[in-house]
Amino acid sequence: MAKKILIIGGVAGGATAAARLRRLDETADITVLERGPYVSFANCGLPYFLSGDIKKRSQLLLQTPEGFWSRYRVDVKTQTEAVEIRPTEKVVKARGPEGDVEYSYDALILTQGSNPIVPPLPGVNQEQVFKLWTIPDMDRIQKFLTEKAPATAVIAGGGFIGLEMAEAFHHRGIKTTVVELAPQIMATMDKEFAAAVQKQLEADGVAVKTGVGLASIGPKTVQLSDGSELAADLVLLSVGVRSELTLAKAAGLALGAAGGLQVDEFLRTSDPNIWAAGDMIETVNLISGKKARIPLAGPANRQGRLAATNIASTYLPGVAARRYRGAFGSSVVKIFDTTAASTGLTEKAAREAGLSVGTSTVHKGHHAGYYPGAEILSLKLVWEKPSGRLLGAQAFGKQGVEKRIDALAVALLGKLTVQDLAEADFAYAPPYSSANDPINMAAFSAQNALEGVCALTAPDQLLARPLTKDEILLDVRTLGEHAKGHAAGALHIPLDELRDNLAQVPAKKVHVYCKDGFQGYLAVRILKQNGIDADNIAGGWTSMVRCGWEETK
């Protein structure tokens, strides 16, 4: 008897699961129920259509029900909403163009995704207030842009969709402000990296307000929680997503502690005939080991494939069940002509997870400085003390950002240490990298710290407390660099004059900083070998300023 497989949700996880099942089992009877008008569309491409980078709307429609049928013999029913799951009968009731229809199944896959949160603000239901999650959402925004030609926009939420849309609106000549309730945008990055992204947005003409939320929305303005007001012909809400759990809850499926649907390591829900994948489930953060919701396209696609494999393994000889290990939340976002990317835990998240954390940061050319076009790449490694196990990484710059983060995502998967990364043999030629890649350099710095060669201090940790009377800051930059701005009260001795001026350095704990961290390391080595207790501020003045260190002139 052909197995009846039913899938609710036909986009990232659902479409992948359907195609994988057909590749494994030519005889299965596979049906996909999708409540929207499109199956398998490119959610992640929506901002780029609105920006004008993607010219044709049709490029976002990756499959049609007809295409799915002819290629995979999968019966896709669009505009058909599953309204009830009856697990004991193994039946799903759906409502669509054919009226109410009941579908029986041998195995059911839930890939219903998530829904954008719409805060219950006064004025939130007006025609100029949007969310962006589906093609119809995108069409509504496009129509409004074309017909109403808004001059100003406010985006609530400084996550990656908010920032992609800020750029899109800016490209369309709209004066745009991003309003973020948290103290920083980009929750996936530590504050100095978020600050670099914010500075870039501002340099490109997008205003950013942090630590303040929307209080209400008027016809042409928004009122903020600090009492101020912004002009807003258009408002986009992009403040996060919630798992779509209505059906699962009503069916009595177990929910998890992180706000998603609970699944086991084979992506099976608490009902033995129901599997689930994508934004709606909670999984494990592979680094912290904690349950987490990681609503991203990569995990959704791979989970869809795995759920299909595991269903096939229950009845097809030769198909083995596979465990889903979890995810790191690797992500990347384009901010005008720069890129910000991260993988694993931030320093903040690692500390909150109770880990003993070290960090090392480099600001270094993305390729050899003598080859034309080198751009500064900021790279931070977060690692565990004393093992050196890599916990996460962040990068920001114009070139080579995602290449480093992807390499580091694989390093996380392989449970590598900074000692391993110090030895990693990366492909090198001057147009692409340096003989010591920025990853090697950041790993050397971590290794030096772990081995006591040069201790590192995280700039935000130092900034968070007043210096004691037994500590000083030492600035070893050039006279010109120092004159442009420095930390109040810092002793200034340029690196090349340090050996001749050691007598000026008081017998205290010395926190050294240079421009980007490297010369600080050289200074620490000189000081230590002359009996002075010193450490290096990771990432130097560049990171200190991004952390909020006040510049004195």
Residue selected from 65, 278, 329, 494 as contacting ligand FAD according to rule CB under 6 A: 278
Q: How many residues are there in the chain?
A: 553
Judged by beta carbon, residue 299 or residue 540, the one nearer ligand FAD is 299
> Is 81 in contact with 95 (CB distance < 8 Å)?
yes
Rounded to a whole number of angstroms, the minimum distance from the CB of residue 238 to ligand FAD is 8
The nearer residue to ligand FAD, 34 or 384, going by C-beta atoms, is 34
- Give the nearest distance from C-beta 165 to ligand FAD in angstroms: 8
Least separation, in Å, of the C-beta of 257 and ligand FAD? 19
For ligand FAD, the binding residue among 3, 5, 7, 13 (CB under 6 A) is 13
Among residues 50, 76, 145, 161, the one that binds ligand FAD under rule CB under 6 A: 161
Query: What does DSSP assign to residue 173?
Result: T
Q: Which of 6, 50, 74, 82 binds ligand FAD (CB under 6 A)?
A: 82
Kindly write down the DSSP assignment for every residue of 291-324, as one continuous string.
EE----HHHHHHHHHHHHHHHHHTTSTTPPP---
With CB under 6 A as the contact rule, the residue among 244, 282, 347, 475 that binds ligand FAD is 244
Report how far residue 282's alpha carbon sits from residue 288's, in angstroms, rounded to the nearest whole number: 14
CB 546, min distance to ligand FAD, A:
24
* Residue 297 engages ligand FAD in binding (rule: CB under 6 A): yes
Q: Find the part of the chain contacting ligand FAD (CB under 6 A) among 5-13, 67-75, 458-466, 528-536.
A: 5-13
Would you count residue 402 as binding ligand FAD (CB under 6 A)?
no
Considering the complex, state which of residue 44 and residue 207 has its C-beta at the smaller distance from ligand FAD. Answer: 44
Q: How far are the Cα atoms of 191, 280, 315, 482, 539 from residue 106, in angstroms, in the given order?
A: 49, 21, 11, 71, 56
Strand partners of residue 56: none
132, 222, 390, 534: which one contacts ligand FAD (CB under 6 A)? 132
Longest dimension (CA), the chain: 88
Candidate list 168, 247, 377, 439; residue touching ligand FAD; CB under 6 A: 247
Q: Binding of ligand FAD at residue 295 (CB under 6 A)?
A: yes
Q: 274 forms bridges with which residues in the sheet?
A: 108
- The CA distance from 361 to 394, in Å, is 9
- Say whether residue 54 binds ligand FAD (CB under 6 A): no
208: left (phi over 0), alpha (psi -120 to 50) or beta: beta
3-state secondary structure of 326: coil
Q: Where in 472-501 is the site for ligand FAD (CB under 6 A)?
A: none
Contacts of 322 (CB under 8 A, 6+ apart): 266, 306, 309, 310, 313
Q: Which residue is nearest to ligand FAD (CB)?
A: 278
Cβ neighbours around 204 below 10 Å, total: 14
Residue from 47, 87, 392, 400 that binds ligand FAD (CB under 6 A)? 47
- Smallest separation (angstroms) from ligand FAD to the CB of 133: 5
Grouping H, G, I as helix, E, B as strand and the rest as coil, residue 6 is strand
Q: Which is nearer to ligand FAD, 295 or 540 (CB)?
A: 295
Q: Which stretch binds ligand FAD (CB under 6 A): 294-302, 357-365, 405-413, 492-500?
A: 294-302
Please give the Cα distance from 456 to 446 (Å, whole number).
8
With binding defined as CB under 6 A, does residue 141 bind ligand FAD?
no
Question: Using the rule CB under 6 A, which residue among 31, 112, 198, 283 binds ligand FAD?
Answer: 112
Find the helix or strand (DSSP H, E) in which 93 lies: strand 91-96
Chain centre distance of CA 287: 15
* Long-range interactions of 53-56: CB distance < 8 A, separation 24+: none
Q: Does 233 bind ligand FAD (CB under 6 A)?
A: no
Regarding 62 and contact with ligand FAD (CB under 6 A), the answer is no
- Tell me the C-alpha distance between 326 and 322, whole Å: 12
Q: Compute the least distance from the CB of residue 190 to ligand FAD, in Å.
A: 20
- Whether 185 contacts 193, CB under 8 Å: no
Residue 188 contacts residue 331 (beta carbons within 8 Å): yes
Q: Which window, 6-14, 148-156, 352-360, 423-431, contacts ligand FAD (CB under 6 A)?
A: 6-14
Instruction: Kindly list the residues in this chain that would bind ligand FAD in the complex (CB under 6 A).
Output: 8-9, 11-14, 33-36, 43-44, 46-47, 81-82, 111-113, 132-133, 161, 244, 247, 278-280, 295-298, 300
